[in-house]
A and B are shown apart, each in its own frame.
Chain A
Amino acid sequence: MKRRWINFVSRFFTIATGLACLAVTVMVALILGNVVRHGFGHLSWKFLSTAPSAGMTEGGIFPAIFGTAFLVILMTLAVVPLGVCTAIYLQEYAPARSRWVPLVRMAIQNLAGVPAIVFGLFGLGFFIQFLGKGIDRFFFGGDLVFGQPAILWAALTLALLTLPTVVVATEEALRVVPRAHREVAYSLGATRWRMVRHVLLPQAVSGILTGTILAVSRGAGEVAPILFTGAAYYLPYLPKRLNQQFMELGYHVYVMATQSPDVDATMPILYATVFVLLALTFTLNFAAILIRSKIRRRMKR
């Protein structure tokens, strides 16, 4: 009798946890389904290739796509060298019982937990007010060139935000390179950097790629850090220089959802923009997951 009761309770809770899993999965599916159902219909080549018009109630989102691409390319240029070098330090260069390693690790982990809006404040206070204004004072005689919101500053702010992603992925990739490979390189007389350059990095390249893709996916979706560092509500031109403002997909979604003059007219465009943003981040995430599982399978062999 008691045994049967225990079995009943066990089965009940097992099913309950399964249902929790199902509930989360269903919520993900509902969100995606909703966006696809309302967003897909409005997509067209014209929508993707033209600028918004008539107070964002007509036209497309090309400037936002262009701005997002420009932004994440700049961000990648900053974050990948920095992140990879940090990971190389942690895995290869740091002495065995270095006091710095736990400190750097702690800094990276804490950086990952800093709220996005705090990065926005930092971008404004450091990059624009301090660096930008400083550059203007020294090189441009006080003219306003870099001391204002700009795509460069937004990209650097995002680079800081995505640094942990790149470091963690690169570290994982370096860690799985067998010890013997390192020893062989050293025994052949390679210096530390030659070993890293010719033995470790070629093997870690797909891991670094995973981290980069995840960082780009994260950076493309974050809005809070770019609110004050460079994103523009609307621009009649595309940004060409580093000190210009830009339009961005996520920010465009925020603006259209909260400040539209005519909500009903904006809705199809809004949904289609959300669709494009989600398609972008999901494609990137899927690519990262695929590459990662490929690496892990190779590792097991």
Chain B
Amino acid sequence: MNRSWSERIIEGVIRLSAGLAIASLILIFIFIGKEAVPLFTSAEARAEAGMSKLFLGNRESPDGKRVQVWQPVSEVPKYSLWPLIVGTLKATLVALLFAFPLAIAAAIFTSEFAPPGLREVVKPVIELLAGIPSVVLGFFALIVTATYFQDLFHLDYRLNTWNAGFALGLAVIPIVYTVAEDALTAVPQSFRAGSIALGATPWQTARRVVFPAAFPGIFAAGILGFGRAIGETMIVLMASGNAAILSWNPGYSFRSLSATVAAELGEVVNGSPHYHVLFFIGVLLFAFTFLLNLAGQLWVGRLRRKLTGARS
């Protein structure tokens, strides 16, 4: 009798911890969303930073044209999110253009061509890159590569999108690499054997048999890398220059959504419209990365079904 009681309590604790994982995800959404709600409900916050102002900009009085600026601490605070959104996307684009080809090519090499001995060396080294804290990558971009790139490409601004995007790419490479490599290795050996037996070269096998078979997984790797780049904070906070300029020019400084939260939340008045806008940015980041992750999981699941289905 006694034992079954303790048994039951332990089982309760174990169930509770598992439930906590779900609960924490819901709590994150509630408690960040809660602080963003006044932007819809409070008259004061709406007048200063309603959705139309966040996404359409402030109307300048004389000619009625809308301006897209992020100036949260000026006399008339302006909270247009466009300069931040464009800055975030611009840096993410540079990062992904740099990271995707490298990471996927490296994954193909390790899973298809590398001799086992070399594979055992390369994989941990790239995983080591994942172990570098993002504040160190930010430091490296700010202190070392910024000067180097500026001299090399004769850029006007020391802290520009090329440089921050490069550092961001370094943070994305290990994720894309790991997921893509997993997908490629999951392709059954019989696929390769069949292709080689028909006279294909290893490259032809990799490109026309293994890569298409693993494609859902590689696509998922891309999505997860994208999510990581969008939300990454310390690298862009340190290396972007943090100037909220609305421009797609990668030679300029920029300010990202995540870095804006990191830089401004510490000094904002608790409960002010500015405070609520920063939490609203948090909701945007959370919702967007959440959807990307769901999509990524969906595609990994599709890979598994595809491969196991093909085998039977």
The residue among B14, B170, B207 with the most chain A CB atoms within 10 A of its own CB is B14
Cβ contact of A111, chosen from B19, B21, B132, B143, cutoff 8 A: B21
Cβ contact of A118, chosen from B3, B32, B122, cutoff 8 A: B32
- Contacts A89-B18, A109-B297 given; does A281 touch B231 at CB 8 Å: no
**How far does the alpha carbon of A10 sit from the alpha carbon of B203 in the complex, in Å?**
5
CB–CB B139/A113 < 8 A: no
A20 at the interface (CB under 8 A from B): yes
Please give me the residue from chain A that is nearest to B128 by CB atom: A28
Please give me the residue from chain A that is nearest to B25 by CB atom: A107
Within 8 A of A (CB), among B205-246: 207, 224, 227-228, 230-234, 237-238
For A110, list chain B residues within 8 Å (CB).
25, 290, 293-294
Q: How large is the interface on A (under 10, 10 to 19, 20 to 34, 35 or more residues)?
A: 35 or more
For B15, list chain A residues within 8 Å (CB).
89, 93
Within 8 A of B (CB), among A1-51: 6-7, 9-11, 13-14, 16-18, 20-21, 23-25, 27-28, 31, 34-35
- Contacts A117-B261, A117-B262 given; does A224 touch B234 at CB 8 Å: yes
For B75, list chain A residues within 8 Å (CB).
none
CB–CB B7/A193 < 8 A: yes
CB–CB A13/B203 < 8 A: yes
CB–CB A86/B290 < 8 A: no
- Contacts A116-B233, A192-B7, A224-B233 given; does A86 touch B18 at CB 8 Å: yes
Determine how close the nearest CB of chain B comes to the CB of A217; give it in whole angstroms.
Answer: 6
For B127, list chain A residues within 8 Å (CB).
285, 289
B96 at the interface (CB under 8 A from A): no
For B126, list chain A residues within 8 Å (CB).
21, 24-25, 28
Cβ contact of A28, chosen from B25, B125, B135, cutoff 8 A: B125
A124 at the interface (CB under 8 A from B): yes
A114 at the interface (CB under 8 A from B): yes
CB–CB A20/B101 < 8 A: yes
The residue among A18, A28, A118, A192 with the most chain B CB atoms within 10 A of its own CB is A118
**How far does the alpha carbon of A116 sit from the alpha carbon of B135 in the complex, in Å?**
12
A70 at the interface (CB under 8 A from B): no
CB–CB B204/A6 < 8 A: yes
**How far does the alpha carbon of A7 sit from the alpha carbon of B114 in the complex, in Å?**
18
**How far does the alpha carbon of A163 sit from the alpha carbon of B122 in the complex, in Å?**
28
The residue among A10, A93, A224, A270 with the most chain B CB atoms within 10 A of its own CB is A224
**How far does the alpha carbon of A289 sit from the alpha carbon of B106 in the complex, in Å?**
20
> Which one of B39-47, B57-65, B281-289 is at the A interface?
B281-289
Determine how close the nearest CB of chain B comes to the CB of A288; give it in whole angstroms.
Answer: 9
Within 8 A of B (CB), among A206-222: 217, 220-222
**How far does the alpha carbon of A122 sit from the alpha carbon of B35 in the complex, in Å?**
10
Cβ contact of A253, chosen from B135, B144, B177, B237, cutoff 8 A: B135
Determine how close the nearest CB of chain B comes to the CB of A61; give it in whole angstroms.
Answer: 14
CB–CB A109/B293 < 8 A: yes
B163 at the interface (CB under 8 A from A): no
For B237, list chain A residues within 8 Å (CB).
254, 258
B31 at the interface (CB under 8 A from A): yes
For B138, list chain A residues within 8 Å (CB).
254, 257
Cβ contact of A117, chosen from B6, B140, B177, B282, cutoff 8 A: B282
Cβ contact of A258, chosen from B14, B142, B261, cutoff 8 A: B142
The residue among A23, A106, A125, A274 with the most chain B CB atoms within 10 A of its own CB is A125
The residue among B230, B262, B294 with the most chain A CB atoms within 10 A of its own CB is B262
Cβ contact of A122, chosen from B18, B27, B233, B278, cutoff 8 A: B27
Q: Contact mask B280-312 → A, CB, 8 Å, 1/0?
A: 001001100110111011000000000000000
7 contacts between A and B (CB under 8 A): A85-B17, A120-B261, A191-B7, A193-B11, A254-B139, A257-B138, A258-B142
* A-B contacts besides A25-B126, A227-B266, 19 pairs, CB < 8 Å: A17-B113, A20-B106, A24-B177, A28-B125, A31-B137, A89-B15, A111-B24, A113-B224, A115-B286, A117-B233, A117-B261, A120-B265, A217-B131, A221-B136, A222-B134, A223-B133, A257-B143, A258-B238, A278-B136
Closest 3 CB pairs of A and B: A115-B231, A221-B133, A20-B105
By a beta-carbon cutoff of 8 Å, the part of chain A in contact with chain B is: 6-7, 9-11, 13-14, 16-18, 20-21, 23-25, 27-28, 31, 34-35, 81-82, 85-86, 88-90, 93-94, 100, 103-104, 106-122, 124-126, 130, 160, 163, 167, 191-193, 217, 220-224, 227-228, 250-251, 253-254, 257-258, 267, 270, 274, 277-278, 281-282, 285, 289
